[in-house]
Amino acid sequence: MSASCLEGHRHGPLVFRRWLGAGALGTVYLAEYPPTGHRFAVKVLHPHLAARPDVRQRFYSEALALRELAHPHVARVLDARPGPGGLPCLLMEYADGESFSRLPMPLAPVEAVELLTQALEAVEAAHARGLMHWDLSADNLVLTRDAQGARRVKVLDFGASAILSASLSPEERARGMVVGSPAFIAPEQWSGETVDGRADVYALGVVGYLLLTGRLPFGIGRAGELAPPEPHVLNPCVPPVLSTVLLRALASRPGERFPDARTFREALVHCMDPRTRAAERASALVDDVELLVDIDIVLDEDEAPTHQQPILLLPEMRVPEGNVTIFGQSIPADGATPLHQALRAVAHAEPVLEAPAPRVAAPAGLEVRLRVDGGWVPVAASDVSVDGFFAAWEGTLPPLAARLGVELSYEGRTVTCEGDVVRHVTGDEARTWGVAAGAFIHFAEPEAALRQWVAWMLEESTQAQRPEPRPDGELARLLARAAESAQDPYALLGARPDADFEEIRRRASAALRRLEGFRARALPSSQRRALESLRGRVESARCTLGEPLSRAGFDAVRGNLSGLARCVAAGLPDEEVEPLRHAFLSARPGSEARARALFTQGHALEVQRALRAALSRYADALALDPLNVAWLRHYQELRQRTQGLVPSMPPVLHSSPRADPSPLS
């Protein structure tokens, strides 16, 4: 059965309108209920899987369990029954949005944490019902927008991994086949060990790392016990404490990760909460990060969300020669998604297993001792990180893999732990590099408190070496002006409420160029954070006002009829506006009936040629039901025919107010 043969077919009262994508389990279609235009997603089980009674039974039993999972961040499963040709079909909520793999990366830390915590809320709710995902990836996490225009993450494909796993034969299991997206499955899934909810914690750790750095922590899979680069090393905007949280989620052993999704989520929220700033500094955590304004992301109607297909992996499978495919999955040469770009970057890179020469001096005042043969030996340390350090060593080096006691002292506090010898720098290498001989020591099973303390020590030593710059006067004046328009994106851009979309985009681009000039200046940390927050607000204003659908939702709440008229004139389809209108009216019971009565009065007045009074009634009706596109068109046409007969209304309802200068100009 071809991927597109069901388009136009019926499934009960629904009609399959468009093919959305296909995965290892089935093909997904956009289905519509014609009388109302409501849209759903329908997953049709592949015929070769539907032919197996055990898979069909597992398909329906998983659907029965998932019907009880109702959460704002889960794409709801509504029903499961036979469809066209008798193939089992899963009726689901249609998550109209953009998959995480297609987002521009890296994201700002606050934005990445916001998206990740929403996904964790969904996983937390599922785990509470005993439902595991086990195939979370950047392709089945979708960023949508709710009826009020707020961003909302939706998690797709709960139950798919369980159904695919049930389809494996005993021979396939014996050969080591596993189900999952290679870059996101946990080490215990690769090795065939017992898997629980901590595998989902690991997968979301990979997602968070990707969002913050634009890179995958381990490439396509995972090699041994090597730790990935810390996110704040790859992206200086990431607070070290956030790096610590993500690396704990990525621990190779399940027992070293967060015990559940809730603990992971709380750790993320805590480390980004500005109210914990003083406590974090006292306990070796970094400064807080200011919250940025949400940035709405709009998906083009013709662009269906992509889904990374779960892949059956054999242990003997290797990356093919030539930059063509990854595990049989094609990588486009042009226009690749950020996830595919990250995969391609690591697919053919030779693994770098050796550490470079030690170069970075230890923080001034740090004293390190190692316990060797029952006694404590002071050593000169360098290249200190939350993972370990390099210890200069005279004489015979301790054997590789030896476990030594470690004592670190800094500013009156001493911590003890254990460390493993992971690499030697021999005398020959030391002479070549011009450094001391010694060994790299990695902390053995470090607790979060130790990593946080080391991160704090490194941050404190860096700050002590770098004096804080003086505040920039020009930026201070600009920030003060921008603060006056904090809640109004039109005022922030200096745009009229009826500005066309080209003007909105031009003003936003000019504002961003203006702010970009400050980023290269030496700024105190507080001003730099305020600058990044302001850039986020400008980006949010551009996204909110620069696209018809998002602007329509904003202008409806604001009562800006002239802005709504711009959205309609830009070609915004009625079927896209209707869900927004339904949500707007649902939140305001009785407003639709009152609006209809006012519009009827206006029509009667228009028939009597009392045009000024008619326009006033129409404006009152639209104030209650601003997203009624037919009314809005009629109102605008009548105003154009009766120039000079503008009724008395609030200023925001006038079509051409004077633009104020942007506070960023």
Is residue 107 a contact partner of residue 272, using CB atoms and an 8 Å limit?
A: no
In this prediction, residue 116 has a pLDDT band, given cuts at 50, 70 and 90, of: very high
Q: What are phi and psi of 341, to 5 degrees?
A: -65, -40
Q: Is the pLDDT of residue 91 over 50?
A: yes
Pure H helices in 348-466: 427-433, 448-465
Q: Tell me, what's the pLDDT at 180?
A: 58
Q: Is the pLDDT of residue 482 over 70?
A: yes
As a whole number of angstroms, the distance between CA 665 and CA 657 comes to: 19
In this prediction, residue 276 has a pLDDT band, given cuts at 50, 70 and 90, of: very low
Topology match between the domains 1-94 and 367-465? no
Rounded average pLDDT over 592-604? 91
Rounded average pLDDT over 42-67? 87
Beta bridge partners of 378: 369
Rounded average pLDDT over 507-532? 87
Give Cβ neighbours of residue 390 (< 8 Å, ≥ 6 apart): 355, 358, 381, 382, 383, 425, 438, 439, 440, 441
Length of the chain: 665
As a whole number of angstroms, the distance between CA 7 and CA 269 comes to: 44
Q: Is the pLDDT of residue 290 over 50?
A: no
Q: Tell me, what's the pLDDT at 143?
A: 92
As a whole number of angstroms, the distance between CA 462 and CA 433 comes to: 25
Is residue 148 a contact partner of residue 294, using CB atoms and an 8 Å limit?
A: no
Q: Tell me, what's the pLDDT at 660?
A: 60
As a whole number of angstroms, the distance between CA 194 and CA 74 comes to: 25
Q: Which amino acid is at 120?
A: L
Angle between helices 629-641 and 611-624 (to 10 degrees): 150
As a whole number of angstroms, the distance between CA 398 and CA 405 comes to: 12
Q: Is the pLDDT of residue 428 over 80?
A: no
Residue 184's alpha-carbon distances to 249, 379, 396, in angstroms, are 12, 39, 42
Q: Tell me, what's the pLDDT at 408?
A: 93
Nearest to 151 by CA among 25, 299, 259: 299
Rounded average pLDDT over 133-141? 88
pTM of the predicted model as reported, rounded to 2 decimal places: 0.46
Q: Tell me, what's the pLDDT at 337?
A: 57
Q: Tell me, what's the pLDDT at 129?
A: 85
Is residue 627 a contact partner of residue 560, using CB atoms and an 8 Å limit?
A: no
Q: Tell me, what's the pLDDT at 340?
A: 52
Q: Give me the CATH code for the 367-465 domain, please.
A: 2.40.10.220
As a whole number of angstroms, the distance between CA 656 and CA 434 comes to: 71
In this prediction, residue 267 has a pLDDT band, given cuts at 50, 70 and 90, of: very high
Q: Tell me, what's the pLDDT at 222?
A: 52
Running DSSP on this structure, what letter comes out for residue 652?
Answer: G
As a whole number of angstroms, the distance between CA 209 and CA 246 comes to: 7
Pure H helices in 348-500: 427-433, 448-465, 473-483, 489-493
CATH class belonging to 100-349: mainly alpha
Q: Is the pLDDT of residue 317 over 80?
A: no
Rounded average pLDDT over 261-271? 92
Q: Tell me, what's the pLDDT at 265?
A: 94
Q: Is the pLDDT of residue 396 over 80?
A: yes
Q: Tell me, what's the pLDDT at 313?
A: 32
Q: Tell me, what's the pLDDT at 383?
A: 87
What pLDDT digit, counting tens, does each position of 452-463 carry? 889 888 887 776
Sequence ranges of the domains in the chain = 1-94, 100-349, 367-465, 549-653
- The reply to whether 660 belongs to the active site is no
Q: Is the pLDDT of residue 108 over 70?
A: yes
Rounded average pLDDT over 468-473? 84
Q: Tell me, what's the pLDDT at 145?
A: 85
What pLDDT digit, counting tens, does each position of 173-227 carry? 444 444 557 788 888 887 777 889 999 999 999 999 999 998 888 765 554 456 7
Nearest to 511 by CA among 490, 484, 487: 490
Q: Coil, strand, or helix at residue 57?
A: helix
Q: Tell me, what's the pLDDT at 170?
A: 56
Q: Which amino acid is at 74?
A: V
Q: What is the average pLDDT score of the chain?
A: 78
Q: Tell me, what's the pLDDT at 70?
A: 85
Rounded average pLDDT over 615-643? 88
Higher pLDDT, 511 or 469: 511
Q: Tell me, what's the pLDDT at 221?
A: 52
Rounded average pLDDT over 43-65? 87
Rounded average pLDDT over 614-634? 90
Which of 54, 79, 96, 135 does the annotation list as catalytic? 135
Q: Tell me, what's the pLDDT at 368?
A: 94
Q: What are phi and psi of 474, to 5 degrees?
A: -65, -45
| DSSP assignment string, 462-530 | HHHHSPPPPPPHHHHHHHHHHHTTTT-HHHHHT--TT--HHHHHHHHHHHHHHHHHHHTS---HHHHHH
Q: Is the pLDDT of residue 528 over 60?
A: yes
Q: Which residue's entry shows tokens 């621990």?
A: 251
Pure H helices in 76-213: 109-128, 160-166, 170-174, 187-190, 198-213
As a whole number of angstroms, the distance between CA 314 and CA 498 comes to: 59
In the chain, the percentage of residues whose pLDDT exceeds 90 is 21
How many CB atoms are located within 10 Å of the residue 274 CB?
12
Q: Is the pLDDT of residue 327 over 50?
A: no
As a whole number of angstroms, the distance between CA 84 and CA 106 comes to: 42
Q: Tell me, what's the pLDDT at 300?
A: 34
Beta bridge partners of 405: 371, 418
Q: How far apart are the first and last CA of the chain?
A: 59
In this prediction, residue 243 has a pLDDT band, given cuts at 50, 70 and 90, of: very high
What pLDDT digit, counting tens, does each position of 338-384 carry? 555 555 554 444 333 334 556 678 888 899 999 988 889 999 998 89
| Superfamily holding 1-94 | Phosphorylase Kinase; domain 1 (3.30.200.20)
In this prediction, residue 289 has a pLDDT band, given cuts at 50, 70 and 90, of: very low
Which of 76-80, 118-122, 234-238 comes out lowest in average pLDDT?
Answer: 76-80
Is residue 167 a contact partner of residue 52, using CB atoms and an 8 Å limit?
A: yes
